[in-house]
Structures are given as structure tokens and as C-alpha cells.
Chains A and B, each alone.
Chain A
């Protein structure tokens, strides 16, 4: 378990409504600092600047989907160590297995509870080495 508390979250999501809810949930309920990225192609830039504790990726996005972005992150020294949590609406066993092989820290399935989201993230954070 990392020593410091989970504060800074970078969230990559193309749906603006969900962006807003997640931001509110994490900021209001979880008292965290959130950077939201709408355009996945510019996500790595933001991460490099924002230096988050954890990254949340939407699975299905146009142009560059979550898994593809995750693979790109793995190639960059400044992002390859960041713990990644996937948010997905398609939760078939095969998808979950695929996420595990990719080395994801955890998954949260849509629809998630806005009330419980910060606690879910902290639980994943607590399990990190």
C-alpha cells in the first residue's frame, strides 16, 4: 500500500455528462483533485503535466480506446508506472481477463455509484504494492 493518500486523479472520458458526475463525486464526496481529459490523444500530455496518483480510463472511446491508450502509456517512462483503473460498461469475463493481462490495477463497471466511487478507488489504491 502506498504511504501517501490518494489525492490526484486523471480521468480520460469522452462523455461530458459522465465527466461531470465523476468530477463532482471525486471532488465533493472524495475530496480529491481531478483532471479530466476529453480527448484521449492528448491524455498523455496532461498526465505528464498533472502528475496524477492514479489514472482512470474509459474503455470505449473514439479514435483511441482505453486499452490502446494504456499500451501507449506503457511505452513512456513518465507514465508507464501509473496505476490505471478502467471504467467499462461491457463487463464480459473475456474483457476482464484482457484487462488483467494488460496490467490494470482494477476495473469499475458502469453504471457505478457516484456515492461509492471514491471509496472504490481508495480500495484499489490500498491494494497497490
Chain B
């Protein structure tokens, strides 16, 4: 009895010590870059990048498996910021971007089922049961999460039209330079 207790205690202590050593010896440092990149991403977990969420996308970006242009809601600004942070070249042809695409509710088709506003990661859709819903453009990232859940296909992503406040000069033509 005493022998068994002593033997088991010694085995336990030795194994515990070995485990403790191994934990220090083989410690895997969590890349701080991943946290930093996750902070730059929109955090809406929309999945348009092909990863389950922004955390996984950040890990893929940090390890170079994803392109810096993989996040549509982040747009050009995010792509440029990521390229700067990761030190990778980026080829964004100026002026060729069709601008952001935002969700729009077709009011003739909306039945007020409230499915879309539950799916919206940024609470950009407002509405109530059996009331027509509307998308607040200021809060919409164009992630498309609402499109798939709509039973009447009344939601579409549409490009925004230029106004005096958003119109900008185009880049001069290359042959003129």
C-alpha cells in the first residue's frame, strides 16, 4: 500500500515536471500580427472572404495565404492598409473599382418577415414584423448576408450613384502623360 502510494506519487511528480518543461520548451507564440490584423478587419463575420470569420481571415492574411484584397466590405482603404502593414505589393487599378455595392430592399416584394435584419451583422436593416424593411446605407457594408436569407429575393446589392458629395476627378488618361 505504502509502496504503491509512493510509486504513484513519484511517477506523478516526474510526469508533471516533464509536462511543465515541455510546455515551456515547445511553447507556441500566438502571432501578435493576427490580433492586429483582426482589429483592422470589419469584424462583421460576413464570410465573403471565404473564411468562416474575420479571425480566421486575419490568420490567413498573416500567414500570407489570403490576398490583401480578399475583404469586399473593407474596400480599397482596407486593402491598402493591409498591404502597407504586411509589406506586400498591391495592384489596385485606380478608377476601375465600381465603388461600394450596398443592399437595397425592393419594397414591392418585401413581406416583412424580419429574417434579413436578424442576419445583418451591422444592424443596418430596420423593420418590424409585417412592415416593409429598409436598409440604412450608412451602416451597410455590402456583405450580402441578408441576400441569402430573404425568402422573396427582394434584396439585391446595387452600386451607389455618384452625387456632388462623392464625385471625384478621374485619373488623367495614360496616353496624356
A binds B: no
